Structure 1
Amino acid sequence: MRSEVRAVALRTGISVPCFIQGQLDQTDDGGVPLLLLHAWSESGGSFDRLIASLPSHVLVAPDLRGQGGADKPETGYSLDDVVEDVVALLEALGITRAHVLGSSSGGYLAQQLALTHAQLVTSLILVGAPLSLRGKPPFANEVDSLSDPISENWVRESLSWYRLLHAVPTSYIEDRVRDGLAMSAAIWKASLRGFYEAVPPTEAGTISVPTLIVWGAHDHLVPRQHQETLRERIHGARLNIYELTGHLVLWECPDRLAADVKSFLKEFTKGA
């Protein structure tokens, strides 16, 4: 196995850093890679602890437009624009199909990808993913008031929007603070607006790929009824509930999530 981070130039006009684990050659026996889509204001580095528990899987974890080390143009932050970046990334890497795991709003992006480019998606794993982001979230006005330079204290305080019930390593939290500081005020605003102005994917059409939904029972941002509705709208989807866990399942329970990912993906391996 090999691990690397490479800059990938996309036909959409931007370049993104992308962590790649393993060989991207796809086979008929379940060798389809797992694409990891991070949450708003984070980076592909938010998956580091999950990746450490999936050493034998072929993984692709990019930084999305405007975030982490990706290019930061002034425009192109609608949900469809970012989906096209993901499609362009898969094309650039020669990936014709992928399992797709999205954390939080990355799961919203994953839903849109499965809706508009179903031929590219073998399965979905939605981790704390919203059913709908239509309308401004409770912290949108605070984001709208941001100006440059972004305050480190503000980024640290913004993490309190997400209740944590498990201990999370300090080094991991510091990485997420750096993610927030890597974004300008304009990109904080535009990237959030791209989500809440979009038509929710499951209202725009039908998603029919095999889907695992993972949700923390103490998620105060994404209610359980929305997860039940998401399960109903995606035919055959299953819902795993993590007790004593908040919205950020990826932060709180990477080892447990890795075990569920392994079990789910094993179903697509020939002979499983």
Structure 2
Amino acid sequence: MCCVEDDWHHRKRRVELPGRRPIAFVDSGGSGPPLLLLHGFSDTGRSFVALAPLLAGYRLIIPDLPGHGASAMADGMRVSDFAASIDRFLAFMGISRIAVIGHSMGAMTAIELAARRRDDVSALVLLSASLSPDFGSDSPLSRGICALRDPIDPAGQFLRDWYSCSRPVEPDFLSKMRMEAAAMPAAIWKGILQGFAETDLRHSAGQVTAPVLCIGGSADPLFGGSHREALAQAFPSVRSITLEGYGHNPHWEDPQRVSTLMLSFLAEAGMV
């Protein structure tokens, strides 16, 4: 796995989990309440580079999920495997009481993690999430991933489409995201896609005791209205917000607005 060599990359630390599998992460430090931020499929912790300064009152823990960025692949590529790795990471770091923010696959991982750590997760923010992310083997997205071959071209049409947004996003940021995504082997792309087909988080969502905020874009091409409706009905305590005209990456498209919604929710949940 390679990473873009810049300030974000050089801020990363590494810890070695059992099995000699390193997890790379950024820890903002500070004495504020801890927030765990989990990125989406093919992304890295860089996904939150614009959001992080707006959450500066908190101690931000931002890992690269296994097989992404500078983190080694774990035993499996299902959402439950990612959650198990992050659970071990938190235990290694000695972090217990925490709020979790997740985007897309990271949001699914956050649901599973919150079900496992019901006494520790105090609030859950889900961006562009799904309980059942099976895209179907014949969908254009699935066909595009199955057609990937190493080395993946960061400037190719697939990654340009994959990282398209509904609102303007800084081009240099998107270029770096594509470069890091292209460094992920095609076999991992395909393995995670297969893991999605086996994922159903409805039971896990029902086990979550923390208050939940779901934020989705009305123009999300991956997880549309039916996914947002399922999320709104899945949790014991949930608030659902749809942002009109926003796509799958609202925290990139408007980090100021998204952070304001998050901060208000976290304050109400007592995470101040």
* Category of TM-score, reference length = shorter chain: 0.7 to 0.9
SS state at 2:266 partner: helix
Judge which range, 177-186 or 138-147, deviates more.
138-147
Q: 1:153 aligns with which of 149, 152, 155?
A: 155
| C-alpha distance after superposition, 1:58-109 (max 9, x if no partner) | 1100001111111246x42122211111001101111012111111121111
1:69-148 to 2 correspondences below 5 Å: 69-72=70-73, 75-134=75-134, 136=136, 138=139, 139-148=141-150
The question of whether the paired residues in 1 share the 8 Å contact of 2:33 and 2:58 is answered with no
- For 1:69 and 1:124, locate their aligned partners in 2 and report how far apart those are by CA, in whole Å: 25
- For 2:154 and 2:220, locate their aligned partners in 1 and report how far apart those are by CA, in whole Å: 25
- Residue matched to 2:17: 10
Measure how far apart 1:125 and its partner are: 0.2
SS state at 2:49 partner: helix
Residue 46 (str. 1) matches residue 47 (str. 2): yes
- For 2:239 and 2:163, locate their aligned partners in 1 and report how far apart those are by CA, in whole Å: 24
- For 2:57 and 2:17, locate their aligned partners in 1 and report how far apart those are by CA, in whole Å: 27
The question of whether the paired residues in 2 share the 8 Å contact of 1:12 and 1:85 is answered with no
- Structure 2 residue identity aligned to 1:19: V
SS state at 1:52 partner: helix
SS state at 1:53 partner: helix
Runs of 4+ in 1 over 4 A off after TM superposition: none
- Structure 1 residue identity aligned to 2:108: Y
- Structure 1 residue identity aligned to 2:41: W
Measure how far apart 1:160 and its partner are: 1.5
The question of whether the paired residues in 2 share the 8 Å contact of 1:162 and 1:246 is answered with no
- For 1:232 and 1:159, locate their aligned partners in 2 and report how far apart those are by CA, in whole Å: 34
Measure how far apart 1:135 and its partner are: 5.2
The question of whether the paired residues in 2 share the 8 Å contact of 1:101 and 1:110 is answered with yes
Evaluate the alpha carbon distance shift between residue 244 and residue 205 of structure 1 in structure 2; reply closer, same or farther with a 3 A threshold. Answer: closer
- Structure 1 residue identity aligned to 2:23: V
Unmatched tracts of structure 2, length 5 or more? 1-9
- Residue matched to 2:166: 165
- For 2:38 and 2:245, locate their aligned partners in 1 and report how far apart those are by CA, in whole Å: 24
Q: TM-score, normalised by structure 2?
A: 0.88
Evaluate the alpha carbon distance shift between residue 8 and residue 136 of structure 1 in structure 2; reply closer, same or farther with a 3 A threshold. Answer: farther
- For 1:19 and 1:100, locate their aligned partners in 2 and report how far apart those are by CA, in whole Å: 15
- For 2:226 and 2:150, locate their aligned partners in 1 and report how far apart those are by CA, in whole Å: 38
- For 2:131 and 2:73, locate their aligned partners in 1 and report how far apart those are by CA, in whole Å: 27
Judge which range, 128-137 or 105-114, deviates more.
128-137
- Structure 2 residue identity aligned to 1:220: P
| C-alpha distance after superposition, 1:183-207 (max 9, x if no partner) | 0111111122222222x11145612
- Structure 2 residue identity aligned to 1:263: S
SS state at 1:172 partner: helix
- For 1:150 and 1:65, locate their aligned partners in 2 and report how far apart those are by CA, in whole Å: 19
The question of whether the paired residues in 2 share the 8 Å contact of 1:97 and 1:122 is answered with yes
| C-alpha distance after superposition, 1:137-186 (max 9, x if no partner) | 621222122221112233x5334246522210011101111221220111
The question of whether the paired residues in 1 share the 8 Å contact of 2:14 and 2:25 is answered with yes
1:54-73 to 2 correspondences below 5 Å: 54-72=55-73
The question of whether the paired residues in 2 share the 8 Å contact of 1:163 and 1:247 is answered with no
- Structure 1 residue identity aligned to 2:28: Q
Evaluate the alpha carbon distance shift between residue 162 and residue 6 of structure 1 in structure 2; reply closer, same or farther with a 3 A threshold. Answer: closer
- Structure 2 residue identity aligned to 1:165: S
Percent identical: 31
Q: TM-score, normalised by structure 1?
A: 0.88
